[in-house]
Amino acid sequence: MTTIHYREIVCGDCIEAQIVDENISFDLNHFAEACGQSPEWVLQLLEYDILPDRPDERVHQFFGEDVTIALRAYRLQRDFNASLTAVAMMLDLIDEVQHLRRKVKYLHPN
């Protein structure tokens, strides 16, 4: 059994979980277990570039922050009945919107 320490941030209707210890390293099977998914599903996340690229010698090494990404991908796939191609695109768009919001907030602080 893998234990993951995380915290949830609630902002309006949005709940975001963040991994507290991002230095934890998982192999493929432990990472899949931590995500509640199969190793095959995790490999698909790598194939669709949903999880960050890794050097060949570390392709099956995962970190705490990867759990957050995988769980977001799972929720999008489940909630919208989306393909992994669509999930990858949605995650890119969500990241871009968050980046632009931070930029606007920085340029126009209230």
96 to 3, 88, 89, 101, 103: CA distances (angstroms): 31, 12, 11, 9, 10
pLDDT tops 80 at residue 43: yes
pTM above 0.85, yes or no: no
pLDDT for residue 28: 94
Q: Which domains does the chain have, with CATH numbers?
A: 6-107 (1.10.1660.10)
Confidence check: pLDDT of 12 > 70: no
Task: Average the pLDDT over each of 39-43, 65-69, 100-104 and give the range with the smallest value.
Answer: 65-69
Q: Which residue has the higher pLDDT, 15 or 37?
A: 37
Check whether 22 has a pLDDT greater than 70: no
Give the pLDDT band (50/70/90) at residue 25.
Answer: confident
Task: Assess whether pLDDT exceeds 60 at residue 4.
Answer: no
pLDDT at 2 over 80: no
Mean pLDDT across the stretch 32-50? 95
